[in-house]
C-alpha cells in the first residue's frame, strides 16, 4: 500500500454521500482529532492477499513514526488517490478489513484512533505542522507471517527418479558430496544457490553482454520510463527476425496454430480481467481514462482468452494454439532492470494451447518441452529447469513431474508452493547461466486449470456437453528481448559470432581502393538480389580501418574487391573464423542461401552504402 503521513495540529472530516460504484460502510460518523498522525491510505491489490499481514505492516510503520513524533493519536483515512495502483472497488470488504484490523491493533497498543469511513465522499479540514517529518510518503509491503516460508519447499529431482529436499545450506552441501550429478552440474548449483538459498547474484560494474547489445543498437530510451528500450536499424531487424521466427517455431508443435493481434489495454471492470490481474501477482501499468481503470497487458492472455470465449469449439478441433507477438508491460523494480533481459516494455511471442483436460495438457507439454530444448541447442546452450508446482499438484501428480524431469535429461530444481487461488498448477522456467554467472530465465510453459472457467472458454465434447478447457501458456523462445539476450550471451561465450540467420548484415563488400567502388557496388547489388543482407563500405577510410570495423560488428562474410579479384573473376572472402579464400560470386551466394534455408528473411533496414550511416556525437554513450 501507499501511505501519505501528515503530522497534523488537527483533522476534522464529515461523510457526505456514498461514492459511485463502491460498496460503502454503514453508519458513517464524523470525526475530529488533534495532535495526530494522519495516514492517507491507498490500498493496493497485493495487500488483499493477506489482510492481517497488510494491517500489521501498517501498524508497525505507524509505531515507528509515533516514536519520533511523540504522539499516540492516529487518524486512518482511506484515500484511493494515494496510489496509482489502487485495489479494485469490488474488493471493498477486504479493504475495510485491513483498515479495521489496523484500527483495532493500534487501539490494543494504547493508541487513540479514529477512522474515516471507506466508500464515501468526505468533506475534511486539516492543519499540518511545519517540520521535516510532518509530510512523509511510504510504500508499505506486507511481511511474511512466521512459518510462511516453510510452506515453500525446494527439492532436486534427478532423471532417474531420485528426489532430495533442500531445507538449507547443510542439505545442499551434503547433496554436493553424495550426488555426483549435482556436484558436476555448475548451472544447476548456481540456480539452487539463487532460488533455494537466497545467495545474492555476483555484482558487476558493467555487463559485457549489455555492451555488445548496445553496439548493435539495443539501447535504453532516456526520454521514456525506466526499462523502456529503443531499437536502431540493426536491432530492429533482429527483433523482427525473431518475431517471424517465433511463428516458425510454433508450427513445430504439429498442432493447428491461429495467429491473432489485439489491443494492449483492458478494463478492470470486467471480473475475469480483474481476477486474472490479481492472481498474476506482478506489478502492472495502470491507466485511468473516462473514469475507467485500465491495465496494460503483461502478456497476450487477455486478448486470446477474449477471442476464444466467443468461439464454439468442438472436441474435434482440440488441441489448438493461438499466438500473438504481443507488446507487454511489467512494472519491474528499477534496481532489477537489465537491458534486454528485464525491461518494463517488451515483446512476447505468447502462445496459448487449448487442450481438453490435464492428461492432454501434459502430452502437449512434452512436445513444448522438446521444442524449447531444441531451440536452446541450436545456439549451443542447454537449459536447466525449475519446476514451480503447487503442493496439491506435487502430491497428486508426482509421477508427472518426474517424467518431465526425465524428459529434460538433466537434474532440475523443484519449487513447491501453496495452491491458494493460483490459476496455474505447474510453471516451468528454463534458465541459462550467463557470462557473469547469473541464472537467467528465458523460455517457459505453465499449465493453467483456472482461467478457462473464469473466462467462459469451453469446448463441446462427444456427448454434446460443454466443458472448460485446460490452457497451456508458453513462450517457446522466451520474450523476444530475452531470446536476443541469450543469443548475444552465447556469442560472447563462444566465438563472438551471431547466427548467420540473425546477422543484420550478412555480407560487407569492401573495395580495396576507391578505383574499384563501381565494381564492388555491382557485386553488392547482385548479392542483394538473392535475398542476402549486404552493405557496401564506400567510406573514405583506410582498408585496415574498414576491416576492423567489420570485425567490431561481427560481420560473417567480408568480401574484398580489387584488381586481382577483377582479373580472376572471383571475390576474396574472409569469414568470422579468420579463414580466407577466393570464391566465385555464385559459390558465395549459394553457400549463404544453403545455411539460411528455411529461416525467415527480412531485407536490410538502412541504405546499402555505409557512408550514409550517421555516427553518434562524442557526448552520447551507447551503453
Q: pLDDT digits over 120-136, tens only? A: 889 999 999 988 778 88
Q: In this structure, is the dihedral angle defined by the CA atoms of residues 464, 466, 467 and 473, taken in order, positive or negative? A: positive
Top mean pLDDT of 43-52, 329-338, 391-400 is at: 391-400
Q: Is residue 428 within 8 Å of residue 446, measured between CB atoms?
A: yes
Backbone angles phi, psi at 87, to 5 degrees: -65, 145
Q: Which three cell numbers stand for residue 191?
A: 540456480
Q: Residue 144 pLDDT > 60, yes or no?
A: no
* pLDDT number for residue 86: 84
- Coil vs helix vs strand at 323: strand
H, E, C per residue of 469-527: CEEEEEECCCCHHHHHHHHHHHHHHHCCCCCHHHCCCCEEEEECCHHHHHHHHHHHHHH
Backbone angles phi, psi at 441, to 5 degrees: -75, 130
> Which whole number is the average pLDDT over 289-303?
86
Residues whose CB falls within 8 Å of the CB of residue 276, separated by 6 or more in sequence, listed in order: 301, 302, 423, 451, 454
Percent over 70 (pLDDT), the chain: 96
Q: What distance in Å separates the CA atoms of residue 294 and residue 264, rounded to the nearest whole number? A: 10
Of 108, 71, 75, 93, whose CA–CA distance to 5 is shortest? 75
Alpha helices by DSSP H, listed for 281-357, are: 301-308
Q: Which three cell numbers stand for residue 404?
A: 518431465
pLDDT band at 145 (very low <50, low <70, confident <90, very high): very low
Q: What distance in Å separates the CA atoms of residue 53 and residue 60, rounded to the nearest whole number? A: 11
pLDDT band at 218 (very low <50, low <70, confident <90, very high): very high
- Coil vs helix vs strand at 593: helix
Q: Is residue 546 within 8 Å of residue 537, measured between CB atoms?
A: yes
Q: Is residue 451 within 8 Å of residue 457, measured between CB atoms?
A: yes
- Coil vs helix vs strand at 390: strand
Q: Is residue 214 within 8 Å of residue 439, measured between CB atoms?
A: no
Q: Residue 312 pLDDT > 90, yes or no?
A: yes
Greater model confidence, 267 or 367: 367
* pLDDT number for residue 622: 46
* pLDDT number for residue 521: 96
Greater model confidence, 300 or 386: 386
* pLDDT number for residue 420: 65
Q: What distance in Å separates the CA atoms of residue 370 and residue 351, rounded to the nearest whole number? A: 15
For the ranges 53-57, 260-264, 416-420, 555-559, which has the lowest average pLDDT?
A: 416-420
Q: What distance in Å separates the CA atoms of residue 320 and residue 311, rounded to the nearest whole number? A: 13
- Coil vs helix vs strand at 536: strand
* pLDDT number for residue 435: 92
245 burial level (CB within 10 Å; 0-12, 13-18, 19+): buried
Going from the N-terminus, what domains does the chain have, and what CATH number goes with each? 2-139 (3.50.80.10), 153-263+301-493 (3.30.930.10), 500-612 (3.40.50.800)
* pLDDT number for residue 146: 43
Number of H helices, E strands in the chain: 18, 29
* CA dist list (Å): 8 to 74, 131, 134, 281: 10, 11, 7, 35
Q: Is residue 451 within 8 Å of residue 346, measured between CB atoms?
A: no
DSSP category for residue 264: S
Q: What distance in Å separates the CA atoms of residue 424 and residue 474, rounded to the nearest whole number? A: 12
What end-to-end distance do the CA atoms of the chain give, in Å? 35
Q: Is residue 36 within 8 Å of residue 11, measured between CB atoms?
A: yes
Q: What distance in Å separates the CA atoms of residue 165 and residue 478, rounded to the nearest whole number? A: 29
Q: What distance in Å separates the CA atoms of residue 428 and residue 413, rounded to the nearest whole number? A: 10
Q: pLDDT digits over 452-489, tens only? A: 998 999 999 999 999 999 999 999 999 999 999 999 99
Q: Residue 445 pLDDT > 80, yes or no?
A: yes
Q: Residue 618 pLDDT > 60, yes or no?
A: no
Q: Residue 616 pLDDT > 70, yes or no?
A: no
Q: Is residue 22 within 8 Å of residue 59, measured between CB atoms?
A: no
The pTM assigned to this predicted structure is: 0.78
Neighbours of 252 (CB within 10 A): 15
> Which whole number is the average pLDDT over 567-582?
95
Q: pLDDT digits over 352-402, tens only? A: 999 999 999 999 999 999 999 999 999 999 999 999 999 999 999 999 999
Q: pLDDT digits over 63-116, tens only? A: 989 988 899 999 999 998 888 778 887 788 899 999 999 999 999 999 999 999
> Which whole number is the average pLDDT over 610-616?
82
β-pair partners for 135: 6
Of 483, 472, 484, 494, whose CA–CA distance to 427 is shortest? 472
* Cell 576507391 found at: 514
pLDDT band at 282 (very low <50, low <70, confident <90, very high): low
Of 553, 554, 434, whose CA–CA distance to 495 is shortest? 554
Q: Residue 608 pLDDT > 90, yes or no?
A: yes
- Coil vs helix vs strand at 422: coil
- Coil vs helix vs strand at 614: coil
420 burial level (CB within 10 Å; 0-12, 13-18, 19+): exposed
> Which whole number is the average pLDDT over 433-443?
94
Residues whose CB falls within 8 Å of the CB of residue 435, separated by 6 or more in sequence, listed in order: 207, 208, 209, 489, 492, 493
> Which whole number is the average pLDDT over 337-349?
88
Q: What distance in Å separates the CA atoms of residue 86 and residue 292, rounded to the nearest whole number? A: 12
Q: pLDDT digits over 146-186, tens only? A: 444 447 899 999 999 999 999 999 999 999 999 999 999 99
Q: In this structure, is the dihedral angle defined by the CA atoms of residues 273, 274, 277 and 279, taken in order, positive or negative? A: negative
* pLDDT number for residue 39: 95
Amino acid at each position: 500500500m501507499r501511505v501519505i503521513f501528515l503530522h497534523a495540529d488537527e483533522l476534522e472530516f464529515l461523510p457526505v454521500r456514498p461514492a459511485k460504484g463502491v460498496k460503502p460502510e454503514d453508519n458513517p460518523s464524523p470525526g475530529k482529532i488533534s495532535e495526530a498522525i494522519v495516514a492517507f491510505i491507498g490500498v493496493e491489490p497485493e495487500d488483499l492477499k493477506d489482510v492481517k499481514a497488510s494491517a500489521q505492516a501498517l501498524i508497525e510503520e505507524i509505531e515507528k513514526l509515533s516514536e519520533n513524533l511523540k504522539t499516540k493519536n492516529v487518524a486512518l483515512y482511506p484515500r484511493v488517490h494515494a496510489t496509482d495502483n489502487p485495489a479494485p472497488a469490488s474488493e471493498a470488504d477486504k479493504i475495510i478489513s485491513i483498515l479495521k484490523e489496523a484500527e483495532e491493533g493500534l487501539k490494543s497498543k494504547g493508541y487513540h484512533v479514529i477512522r474515516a469511513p471507506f466508500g464515501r465522499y468526505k468533506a475534511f479540514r486539516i492543519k499540518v505542522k511545519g517540520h521535516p517529518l510532518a509530510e512523509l510518503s511510504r510504500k508499505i509491503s506486507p511481511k511474511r507471517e512466521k512459518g510462511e516460508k516453510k510452506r515453500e519447499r525446494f527439492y532436486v529431482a534427478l532423471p532417474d527418479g531420485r528426489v532430495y529436499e533442500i531445507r538449507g545450506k547443510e542439505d545442499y552441501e551434503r547433496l554436493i558430496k553424495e550426488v555426483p550429478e549435482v556436484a558436476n552440474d555448475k548451472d544447476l548449483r548456481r540456480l539452487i544457490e539463487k532460488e533455494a538459498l537466497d545467495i545474492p547474484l555476483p555484482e558487476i560494474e558493467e555487463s559485457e553482454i549489455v555492451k555488445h547489445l548496445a553496439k548493435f543498437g539495443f539501447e535504453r530510451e532516456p526520454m521514456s520510463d525506466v526499462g523502456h528500450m529503443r531499437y536502431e536499424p540493426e536491432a530492429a531487424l533482429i527483433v523482427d527476425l525473431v518475431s517471424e521466427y517465433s511463428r516458425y517455431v510454433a508450427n513445430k508443435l504439429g498442432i493447428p496454430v491461429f495467429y491473432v493481434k489485439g489491443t494492449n489495454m483492458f478494463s478492470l471492470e470486467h471480473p475475469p480481467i480483474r481476477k486474472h490481474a490479481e492472481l498474476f501477482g506482478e506489478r502492472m501499468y495502470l491507466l485511468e481514462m473516462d473514469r475507467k481503470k485500465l491495465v496494460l497487458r503483461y502478456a497476450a492472455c487477455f486478448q486470446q482468452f477474449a477471442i476464444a470465449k466467443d468461439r464454439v469449439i468442438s472436441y474435434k478441433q482440440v488441441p489448438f494454439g493461438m499466438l500473438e507477438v504481443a507488446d507487454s508491460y511489467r512494472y519491474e523494480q528499477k534496481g532489477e532492470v537489465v537491458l534486454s533481459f528485464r525491461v518494463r516494455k517488451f515483446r512476447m511471442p505468447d502462445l496459448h494451447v487449448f487442450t481438453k483436460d490435464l492428461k492432454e495438457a501434459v502430452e502437449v507439454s512434452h512436445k513444448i518441452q522438446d521444442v524449447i530444448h531444441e531451440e536452446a541447442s541450436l545456439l549451443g546452450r542447454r537449459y536447466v529447469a525449475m519446476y514451480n508446482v503447487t503442493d496439491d499438484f506435487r502430491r497428486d501428480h508426482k509421477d508427472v513431474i518426474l517424467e518431465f524431469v526425465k524428459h529434460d535429461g538433466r537434474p532440475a530444481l523443484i519449487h513447491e508452493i501453496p495452491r491458494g487461488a493460483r490459476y496455474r498448477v505447474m510453471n516451468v522456467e528454463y534458465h541459462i547461466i550467463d557470462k557473469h554467472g547469473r541464472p537467467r530465465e528465458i523460455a517457459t510453459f505453465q499449465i493453467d486449470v483456472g482461467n478457462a472457467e473464469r473466462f467462459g472458454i469451453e469446448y463441446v465434447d462427444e456427448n454434446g456437453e460443454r466443458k472448460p478447457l485446460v490452457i497451456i501458456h508458453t513462450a517457446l523462445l522466451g520474450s523476444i528481448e530475452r531470446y536476443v539476450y541469450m543469443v548475444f550471451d552465447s556469442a560472447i561465450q563462444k566465438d563472438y559470432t551471431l547466427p548467420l540467420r540473425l546477422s543484420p548484415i550478412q555480407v560487407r563488400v569492401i573495395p580495396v581502393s576507391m578505383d574499384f567502388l563501381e565494381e564492388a557496388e555491382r557485386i553488392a547489388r547482385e548479392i542483394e538480389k538473392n535475398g542476402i543482407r549486404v552493405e557496401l563500405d564506400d567510406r573514405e577510410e583506410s582498408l585496415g580501418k574498414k576491416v576492423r570495423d567489420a570485425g567490431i560488428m561481427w560481420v560473417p562474410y567480408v568480401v574484398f574487391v580489387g584488381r586481382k579479384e577483377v582479373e580472376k573473376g572471383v571475390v576474396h572472402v574472409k569469414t568470422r573464423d579468420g579463414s580466407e579464400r577466393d570464391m566465385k560470386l555464385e559459390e558465395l551466394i549459394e553457400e549463404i542461401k544453403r545455411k539460411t534455408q528455411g529461416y525467415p528473411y527480412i531485407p536490410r533496414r538502412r541504405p546499402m552504402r555505409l557512408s550514409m550511416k550517421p555516427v553518434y556525437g562524442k557526448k552520447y554513450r551507447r551503453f
